Structure 1
């Protein structure tokens, strides 16, 4: 019997292993027809038909990878394409939706408009509204109502401490976003102290204020309605939008319909604002205005519109793609464009991938991994002692998420695990780029969701107030090898524990900002364990005080290792009263100050440490003296007994400071900066400083002066080019 089994084993050993077959379906916006079978010869016409076919195939018990090939073309969604548990793949057999042979596939929440319907402005009643009559020959109009388009949405305020809201209908031509007509066109109006008639602030109570503006200009807006403003009314980190309630053209007094949380000031250079949603001010390429009552879209094109141009207006309020309880699904080589809300939304998902995609021109964010929070019904400072924000998760949106996280720091967004955004271009999004959650802070369970090798450009064209290219929270998520191009405020905004931020380039963050950092975390000593390593931060800041990395208000337990700072803010690193932060093996070049340390918890921020105050509430929320928190971060068990107001246990060593105007501010006991670090104005052996290649040559003096300094893998920082 033994010999028979051996013989059989030899017989089958020579046979090839038959893998599970690949099942393929096809979609075509051109050749597809309802009722087709989904073959390449008879493709489906829509994503929903393909989804039904995939489900039917799975129900037959078929095993193997499934690919839905999408032929080139534009696919207009009238509702969110939703995938659930029934649409999931498996670890060995995932389900892919991807473009066929790299043909250009656009999935949009908008509607294409033929250039043929574009007209010049001929109606006299329309012409007289425009202030700049010389622009009339360039302005064009589309009768939306005649095309059956009647949902123009609603322009709503957004900004500091305000919910994520979908914008009204937007216009995009050849992928370029247009903006509502504004005044001034490119600059902003400086608020002078004498312009503030009523600051809208008494003690800590705020209400709609009043300012003075050019009365001659406001006379020209007599027929305008729904005028909005946007600006920095008090602090540069609290950008806000306010509606105009009334304008007195005799005096130039402008009364707002909305309050700003800190009132209105003209004390600082960043106290600037502009007006928008004004038909009268449509006079510059890239502007548009929708006359809602008549359904007319007026716009000033960048160049004369051609018959081959692509014109899209946004319509869909819901996410373009929704994944709920779905796993092992992949979207690849697709462009997602022109929705009023979120591009791709996930909740309770596992191992899904968005790869080689472009996600642009969305009204809110490109991707949200995890639920949001129900929008606040009142406008007020979050209150951790007496929370008032709605305790209700929001599926399919973000709502008041980041204000809710202020009151409820252990909020679990149901973000799932191991979901990835890979090698994507994310640009021209309205309110940030990616909101990435996942992981349980009470159990310190890591989610492993990640953003890898992506590029972010112009993520915050409608609102950038704490709505960054990447907002991350939860536990154990990653941002790796990404390129962050110029943004007005913070590039990466962090909540939670044990995240990894590595090999990224941040170029030009905080360009109109004061008291903010390109990478920002703080005001919660329980948010420990994050590692920020091997990043290149350059050209940070332009106005006010800005930081490369900002450990705000008592932030603790973060490691900053192996980063390169070049002209990275007025303070490359700011530690605002925290403990157990490590700043090691970094290189600082050509900045005003390398390290700022302060004892704010002994002075103006001391209320954070009051009994039943914000820090006690936040540490108790994670059961900081019990496992698993106490085991992971034992240094925090006696936090309140160890003089928490004094910054200490901050390791700052093996760093290199090159041509810094000032090395540090603060007392030595808060974090010794002048010991075990190299300070020099000399050439230390960069590979090619003129080309911003800050790799160290093998014979660099750094390795002699600091024997424990480890070479930074500078040439590995940034996006990885596909071979």
Structure 2
């Protein structure tokens, strides 16, 4: 194995013929050219790392390039190399194990770049192609469970024939459970397929609870229990007691005679309630439509009903838990790459700083697209979809010192981002201090689009639509239950078509839950969002210069800290007061940065004080819904209505959803009385800009 290296001219002269530099400043930039066609065994990688960069007449495999990186500590530390570029040629790089990029602290100042030929041309894949599909044999005992309608359509393949001997493990998943990699998943022409399930669409509902609400047994009307009883690894997913907490659990027993299904203990977190939604999955007996599949784990045999005639390469199965893991990475840039088909997180950035990922795609990740604990890092122009447990998870900033993390997620498109666990797996989860979410388009999600915690974040210029489609008691933007989490600015966003028609009053636009507060919400546009801004008993929120069209109500405020949630506010050992003590709320920097927080416990802490509403425009719908006990604490300033705002485009207000429909006419009286034009501006990545977000090819 040899290595093709590009080394630009040295910055200062070296003694000719001596092979060494007189001055340490005569460093070079080292470029490793990687080919998808190169052999890339561990032995190849070891040999390449041992000789690089002394040989220079060939492309190397990706594993070899990372081995060179790991072996280059001395070259970086002594200044012989001041930059490393790993350039991946076009093609698909199939990884059974993640790339491990461990950046040694001794050369953190050296820039490292990992790049490709474009996000749709250079692909890092965690999948293997599954070949050898054929009709089930007459001696296939499992195939006897197939429905009559599926026979003649379902094909089978042995995973071992495609080099796959590990299907992963199923673990409980869902609300309050640590995220673990998904088991093996099946993809057809790049799209995830559906594990055979009942019912085929939507949910069934729990009819009765023979073991009570704290038990593990339930009944479901119309379920095919005789067939389900024969399923060896049947699972059940449900919103067992709360419409915002779903859990997938193994089924322990099915009793057709009594109509009872029993889950494996322990019981769901909040117990179970009649009328709640659930679905069975992983049942070969329910494989009855194109696109469904099942894995017999005992024989490692896949059963699949293809949507169309199969061609070589159509079917892939995920094998790698991650694709890229960077540890203590600093000055790392990743661009023009596609990441796809992994069981766990596609990209993990563990610690470090100054990491940038741009013009990249991530799809078909069993967990999340990007998990990051780095600081001073930026994730831009990315296209993320078909993920199991969310899009981006970012932890950055110091909540004790209020030191900013300076991490941003920008100019990206994120959709269909919670396919495994549905609730509290947002497109972007942000925790820490001083981070930004700007100019993204987020859509098609069952629960929240953005969940944020911490201090002094900026959420600006995003378009969010068609989220909170399956769950209740959630918001497109969600935070709460922390008095110390303050200072976040939510500005210039466009939220529209939020929630589910089946639960129109159970979802919100911006949801400050359980006495959360200290936010500034201004110059946003809301269209067709019930309870567009929901303040759940919190204080010190400024809501100004927002435009609401057909929102009922536009702004809701309650006094829960004085009523049904008074115990949470008053409990000296409760969550809210415990968080105060953790950050020393009455000492600098908190006492100086948030003066009203320092005196909170002496100022009726459960009262929704300090909330200000002013210069908001409400067209259609209802302006405000304020709890009677909250009213004395709320300052309501001037507001505008339908007579004050007119639109350039003439159409029924109830039909307005696009931003173009909501352009305010210059003649509107509100503009002459201090109401500003909306800040939101459609960008290359909102609406129709997915391809530009994915790569600049």
Superposition TM-score, scaled by structure 2 size: 0.87
SS of residue paired to 2:573:
coil
Cα displacement (A) at 1:213: 4.1
Contact 1:88 1:326 in 2 (8 A): no
2:280 and 2:391 map into 1 onto residues whose CA distance is 25
Q: Does 1:336 align with 2:317?
A: no
Cα displacement (A) at 1:166: 1.5
Contact 1:593 1:662 in 2 (8 A): yes
Q: Residues 226-283 of structure 1, C-alpha deviation per residue, up to 9 Å, x if partnerless?
A: 211112122211112222111111121111213122222225xxx2111001011111
Q: Does 1:95 align with 2:112?
A: yes
Contact 2:251 2:264 in 1 (8 A): yes
User: How do residues 397-476 of structure 1 correspond to structure 2 at under 5 angstroms?
Assistant: 415-476=373-434
Contact 2:439 2:683 in 1 (8 A): yes
Q: Does 1:290 align with 2:295?
A: yes
- Distance change (3 Å), C-alpha of 1:181 and 1:41: farther
Counterpart of 1:714 in structure 2 is 680
Q: Does 1:200 align with 2:228?
A: no
Cα displacement (A) at 1:94: 2.4
Cα displacement (A) at 1:344: 0.9
User: How do residues 606-685 of structure 1 correspond to structure 2 at under 5 angstroms?
Assistant: 606-609=566-569, 610-667=571-628, 668-673=631-636, 675-680=637-642, 684-685=646-647
2:187 and 2:156 map into 1 onto residues whose CA distance is 14
Counterpart of 1:698 in structure 2 is 666
- Distance change (3 Å), C-alpha of 1:587 and 1:44: same
2:217 and 2:632 map into 1 onto residues whose CA distance is 45
Contact 1:224 1:280 in 2 (8 A): yes
Contact 2:617 2:645 in 1 (8 A): no
1:670 and 1:139 map into 2 onto residues whose CA distance is 64
1:669 and 1:534 map into 2 onto residues whose CA distance is 29
Q: Residues 178-225 of structure 1, C-alpha deviation per residue, up to 9 Å, x if partnerless?
A: 121111111211234xx3323332xxxxx423324436x111233211
Counterpart of 1:597 in structure 2 is 557
Segment drifting more, 498-507 vs 712-721: 712-721
- Distance change (3 Å), C-alpha of 1:101 and 1:614: closer
Contact 1:200 1:210 in 2 (8 A): no
Which runs of 5 or more structure 2 residues have no equivalent in the other structure?
A: 1-24
Contact 1:505 1:717 in 2 (8 A): no
User: How do residues 213-612 of structure 1 correspond to structure 2 at under 5 angstroms?
Assistant: 213-214=221-222, 217-258=224-265, 259-267=267-275, 271-307=276-312, 309-317=313-321, 319-369=322-372, 415-542=373-500, 543-544=502-503, 545-568=506-529, 570-609=530-569, 610-612=571-573
1:108 and 1:421 map into 2 onto residues whose CA distance is 20
Segment drifting more, 634-643 vs 242-251: 242-251
Q: Does 1:113 align with 2:113?
A: no
Cα displacement (A) at 1:310: 3.8
Contact 1:48 1:81 in 2 (8 A): no
Q: Which runs of 4+ in 1 moved over 4 A?
A: 18-22, 35-41, 87-91, 686-691, 720-723
Cα displacement (A) at 1:630: 0.7
Contact 1:532 1:559 in 2 (8 A): yes
Segment drifting more, 60-69 vs 240-249: 60-69
SS of residue paired to 1:58:
helix
SS of residue paired to 2:666:
coil
Contact 2:397 2:405 in 1 (8 A): yes
2:407 and 2:115 map into 1 onto residues whose CA distance is 21
1:695 and 1:41 map into 2 onto residues whose CA distance is 60
SS of residue paired to 1:305:
coil
Counterpart of 1:395 in structure 2 is none
Segment drifting more, 483-492 vs 171-180: 171-180
SS of residue paired to 2:580:
helix
Cα displacement (A) at 1:670: 3.4
- RMSD of aligned C-alpha atoms? 2.5
User: How do residues 132-143 of structure 1 correspond to structure 2 at under 5 angstroms?
Assistant: 132-143=147-158
1:440 and 1:191 map into 2 onto residues whose CA distance is 45
Cα displacement (A) at 1:672: 3.7
Cα displacement (A) at 1:662: 4.8
Equivalent residue for 2:189, pick from 160, 163, 174: 174
Segment drifting more, 74-83 vs 546-555: 74-83
Segment drifting more, 630-639 vs 58-67: 58-67
SS of residue paired to 2:365:
coil
1:433 and 1:49 map into 2 onto residues whose CA distance is 28
Equivalent pairs counted in the alignment come to 641
1:428 and 1:449 map into 2 onto residues whose CA distance is 24
1:611 and 1:106 map into 2 onto residues whose CA distance is 53
Q: Residues 484-515 of structure 1, C-alpha deviation per residue, up to 9 Å, x if partnerless?
A: 01100011011111111111011111101211
- Distance change (3 Å), C-alpha of 1:632 and 1:19: farther
1:560 and 1:108 map into 2 onto residues whose CA distance is 41
Q: Does 1:44 align with 2:43?
A: no
Contact 2:483 2:515 in 1 (8 A): yes
Superposition TM-score, scaled by structure 1 size: 0.84
Counterpart of 2:8 in structure 1 is none
Cα displacement (A) at 1:102: 6.9
Counterpart of 2:6 in structure 1 is none
SS of residue paired to 1:657:
strand
Contact 2:26 2:80 in 1 (8 A): no
SS of residue paired to 2:225:
helix
Cα displacement (A) at 1:520: 0.5
| Larger strand proportion of the pair | 2
- Distance change (3 Å), C-alpha of 1:54 and 1:66: farther
Contact 2:353 2:374 in 1 (8 A): yes
2:524 and 2:86 map into 1 onto residues whose CA distance is 42
